[in-house]
Structure 1
Amino acid sequence: MIDKVIKGKLRSTTGVFFGSGQSNEYKDSIFFRDSQNNIIIPGSSIAGVLRAYIARISPYITEDSCVQLVEGQKDEFCNCKVCQMFGSINTRPDQESMPSKVWVYHATPITRCKAFLRDGITIDRESESSFRESKAKFNFEVIPKNTIFDLHIELEKGLNKEQEILLCSALSEWEKGRCFLGGLHSRGLGNFVLEDLNIYELDISDSNKLLKVLNRNSVLIRKNEFLQEKLKEGLKIINEKHQIIQKGTYHSFFQFDFNINFDSGVIVNNFKNNVRYSYDFFPITENGEFIIPGSSLRGVLRSHAEKIAKTIVNENCENLEDFLRICPACNPGGVSEKIPLT
C-alpha cells in the first residue's frame, strides 16, 4: 500500500531534450510524447536519474554498494538497499528479486509547452568549418527554459530509515538545482530545479479514512518537516561512521555561473528562419528570447583547449611523428577517423 506521496514542480533552467527515438521528414530527433501527442517527461527517466544518484551516495549511509558501482560485477545479481527501493537488477530465476517501492509518474507540463527545433553540426577541427562532405548536420526538438512540469512520486510502505534518508538527500539536491534530466547535457541542456516540494503521508488512522483510500479518495497529511529530519539523520550517520568511501563512488563537480558581455554584435545563425524570413542570417530565438546554445559555447571552449594542449605538447616534441604519438587528437566527422589532427 502507498505510504507517502511526493509532489512538486520541476522547472527547466535550460532547454530540455528527451529523444523518442523517432524522426520524420523534417526532424531528425522528435521530443518524447504520449499517445495523445502531448509532450511529457517519462517517469522511467526521472526514476533512472534518482536511482543513479542514490546509488552513488548509498555507501555514505548504508553498509553496501550496488554492483553497478563495482568494476567487474555489473552483470551480477544485486539486491542492495538501492535495488530494494527501485527494483532488483540482473534478476535470475534462482534469486529472490524485489519490485520497486518508488513509483514515479510521467511528468506533464503545467505551463504552455512548445517544442523548438535546434540544429547541430560537426565542426572540422582543421578548417574550423562544417563537414560538408560527411553531411554532419542534424536537428532535434527541445523545449525552452522555464517550462514547468508536475512531479508526482508515490512511496510504498516498507522503506527503512536509510532508504528514506537517501531519497530525501536526492530531492534536496534537486531543490538546489543539481538535477539533470534527458539528453545532450554537454550541449547545455537538461538542467532542472525542484520547486514547491511537498511530502504527504497517507492517513488510514480509522476505518472511514481507510474506506476513502480504497475508493481512491485519499486523505493526505502534509509532512514537509520529513525532508529536513531525514537530512539531519543522514549527516549524523556520516559523522558517526567516519567510513572510508570507495574511491569514485560519488563524483563532485564544479558549476560556473557567469555573464558574457560582447564588445560587438553577435549572432548564432538559425537556418530555418533564414529561409522563412528571407534573411542570409537570423539569430536563434526560443519563446521570443535570443539564446546562445550551450553547444556553441562548448565548441569555442573545446577549440581553444585543443590549441593550448597542442601548443604545450609541441614544445616537448622533436618531429611530427613524435607530436602525433603524444597528442593523437581526433577529428570527429572527418573523411577518415584514423587521420589525426596536425
Structure 2
Amino acid sequence: MGQSIRTRFEVLGTLACLGPVHVGGWDTTAEASLTIARDGLGRPCLPGTSIAGALRAYLSGVDRFQAGHPVKVTDALFGLTPSSRDGSPSWIRVDDAHLIGDDVTPAVRDGVGIDRRSASAAANYLYTRQVLPAGTRFALRLVADTPTTAAPGYPGGWPALVRDAVEALVAGLTQARVPIGAGRGRGLGRVALRDATIRSADLSDPAGLVAWLTGAAPARPHPPAEDTSPQEAPHDGRLRVAVAWRPVGPLLVRDSLPGTVVDTLPLTDTTADGTVRLLLPGSSIRGTVRAHAERIVRTLQRQDAPADFGDALRQPPPGVDVLFGSAPTGRRDDQDQDRRGRRGALAVADCHSLGQVSASQWNDVVTTSPGLVQPSGKQEREEREERNLQRDQARSVLRGRLDGIHDHLPLAVSDHVAIDRWTGGASDHRLFSVLDPDATTAWEPIHLDVDVAHLDRQDAPEHRASAVLALPLLLLVLRDLRDGWLSLGYGGTRGRGQIEVTDVTFDGAGLSGAWQSLAGRSLDTVLSDPPPEVVEAMTVWANTFQEAAA
C-alpha cells in the first residue's frame, strides 16, 4: 500500500567539504586499513544513509523539535524501526551524494592511541584512514513529503512540521553544523551546503502534480551562511568555543613519512585545489585535552590510570566519559546497555596555519635529496666524504627553497643529537633533523564544539551524573590551556608545543542549564565573575569529589 502524499519539498545543492571527510567503505588497501565509500563507478560518494543519520541526530538537538511535543519529531519524520507492528515509514529521503567534477585522490591520516601511564604510543592501537580532502564537492538531493493524515500536537499539522524541519536542516547544513561520517569528534566530517534551492508543490492537487512533474514548481534559493545574522543562527543546542592562540616556540605534528634531507617533516593538509597548509589535527588536540581532563579527575579521585590501555578507553572517569566518549566493553551480555560504547559530546576541528603554499612548492621542499654515490672502488673514507659533500649541497638547495616560501610558511631546519649516558658525548648514529615551523607562524583559532543537547539526552543514572560534571571539567581544562599547562603536537616533553592563549570565547543558541550562561562570554569573564549557574555547577563538582575522598 502506497503513502498518501500532500505536499512535497525538494532540496538541491552542493555539499562542499570544509575539512577531511571519511565515510567508511568495505574494502581495504595497502596504504590504509579504513577506506572511503565509493559508488558503482569507483568514485568517492557520501551514502544517503550516512547523510540521513547525521540529519536525524542534528534535528533531535534543535530546541523546537526536542522532546516535549506529543509527537516525537525525529521518529515521525525519519521513521521508526518496528519492534512489533508499530513501525512507521520515513517521510524524508536522502539520495546518495555523488562526486562533482574530476575524481579526487584521498589523503591518508595516521592514528595512534596514547597510553595514559607512559604517555607514549599504545601497543596495537595504530591505524590508517583514508579521508577526502577539503574542497571536495558532492551533489545533494533531499526530498520530504507531508502525509494527508493529521499531525496531532504540532501547530499547523504535517505541512508546518515538515516545512519547519526542512528549513532547520538546510540552515544547519548551510552553516556547517551537521558533520557527516566517522571521526566527527576528531575534526572530520565538516561540510557546508552551498547554492541550495528549495522547491515545493501540492501533489494532492492536479495542478500542483503537473507543475512538479514538468519542473514548473516554484523554487527559491536558500540564503547563504554569510547572509545569516547571529540572531538567526539555529538553536541546535551546541556550544562553540573559539581559542585564539599563538606558538611560543617550535610547534608541529610529525608526519609519518620521513624526508629525504630532513628526517622529520611537519604534518600538512592539501586541499582539492592543491593548496598546502601546516596542520594540527583535531585528533591530536582532542587527545591532549582528553589526557589532561583524565589527569584532573584521576588526581581528585586519587586513582591511577588502568595499566591496560583498553581499560582506560572502556572505563574513563566521570565527566570524561560524556565529553569524550567511551569504547565498547566487548561484552555480549544483552543486559549491558553500554557494551557498544558511547559517543562523546566534545568535538575538536582541525587547526591550520594561515599561511599556505602551492602543492608544487611543497613538493619541491620535501623531495629535495642528495645525489646517490655509486661504489667506485675508492677508499671508504673518500666515499664518505663525497656523500657528506652531496648532503651539504642538498641542504643548501633546501635552504634556498625554504627562503622562497618563508613569507607564507616560515620553516627552518634544526639538528639534534642524543647524548650517550655513559660518555656524556654524542651518541653514535643518533643525529636527526627536524623541519620546524617558526614561532612567528600564524594559526587559525582552535575550535571546540560541545553537543549540549546530547548531554541532556543521557539516560542512564551514572551518565546523567557525569553530564553534571562536564561543564566544570571543560572550564578547568580551558583554564589550564590558557595558563600554559598543556603543550600541543610533537616533542612536548622536550620544550616543544608551548603556546600562548590570547582569548577564549563561547557562543551558541538553544543551550540548557548552566551552559546557556556561557554564551556570549569569554573565559576570563566567566572565571573572574562567574554566573550563578556556573557557581552552582562548580559547587556540585567540589562536593562530588569531596564525598569521593571521604
Same fold (TM over 0.5): yes
Match of 2:291 in 1: 303
Distance 2:125 2:249 in 1: 30
Note closer, same or farther for the CA distance 1:29–1:114 as it changes in structure 2 (3 Å cut): same
Match of 2:49 in 1: 44
1:283 aligns with 2:272: no
Distance 1:220 1:40 in 2: 29
Note closer, same or farther for the CA distance 1:259–1:115 as it changes in structure 2 (3 Å cut): farther
SS of corresponding position for 2:8 = strand
The 5 A counterparts of 1:246-325 are 252-271=237-256, 273-274=257-258, 277=260, 279-287=262-270, 288-313=276-301, 323-324=302-303
Match of 2:131 in 1: 142
- Deviation readout 1:273-317 (Å, 9 max, x if unpaired): 327x4742122222222211111111222233333334444xxxx
SS of corresponding position for 1:136 = strand
Structure 1, 35-44 or 252-261: larger mean CA deviation: 252-261
Match of 2:120 in 1: 129
Provide the aligned length of Structure 1 versus Structure 2. Answer: 286
Match of 1:82 in 2: 74
Note closer, same or farther for the CA distance 1:335–1:219 as it changes in structure 2 (3 Å cut): closer
Report how far residue 144 of structure 1 moved.
Answer: 2.0
The 5 A counterparts of 1:197-212 are 197-202=196-201
Match of 2:183 in 1: 184
Report how far residue 153 of structure 1 moved.
Answer: 0.9
- Deviation readout 1:44-78 (Å, 9 max, x if unpaired): 11111222233444655973254xxxxxxxxxxxx
Higher strand share: 2
- Deviation readout 1:233-288 (Å, 9 max, x if unpaired): xx9xxxxxxxxxxxxxx9833212334422222222222x327x474212222222
Distance 1:173 1:251 in 2: 8
Which consecutive residues of structure 2, in runs of 5 or more, have no partner in the other structure? Answer: 148-157, 225-231, 271-275, 318-550
Q: Residues 117 and 305 of structure 2 are in contact (CA less than 8 Å); yes or no, is this contact kept in structure 1?
A: no
1:64 aligns with 2:70: yes
Note closer, same or farther for the CA distance 1:64–1:278 as it changes in structure 2 (3 Å cut): farther
Match of 1:245 in 2: none
Report how far residue 207 of structure 1 moved.
Answer: 8.0
1:109 aligns with 2:99: yes
Q: Residues 23 and 37 of structure 2 are in contact (CA less than 8 Å); yes or no, is this contact kept in structure 1?
A: yes
Distance 1:4 1:285 in 2: 41
Tell me the TM-score normalised to structure 2 length: 0.45
Note closer, same or farther for the CA distance 1:150–1:279 as it changes in structure 2 (3 Å cut): same
Amino acid at match of 1:262: P
1:167 aligns with 2:174: no
Larger radius of gyration: 2
Tell me the TM-score normalised to structure 1 length: 0.70
SS of corresponding position for 2:31 = coil
Report how far residue 23 of structure 1 moved.
Answer: 1.8
Structure 1, 198-207 or 143-152: larger mean CA deviation: 198-207
Which of 1 and 2 has higher RCO (CA within 8 Å, sep 6+)? Answer: 1
Distance 2:312 2:54 in 1: 36
- Deviation readout 1:183-216 (Å, 9 max, x if unpaired): 11221111222222210135889989966865xx
Distance 1:116 1:225 in 2: 32
Note closer, same or farther for the CA distance 1:206–1:172 as it changes in structure 2 (3 Å cut): closer
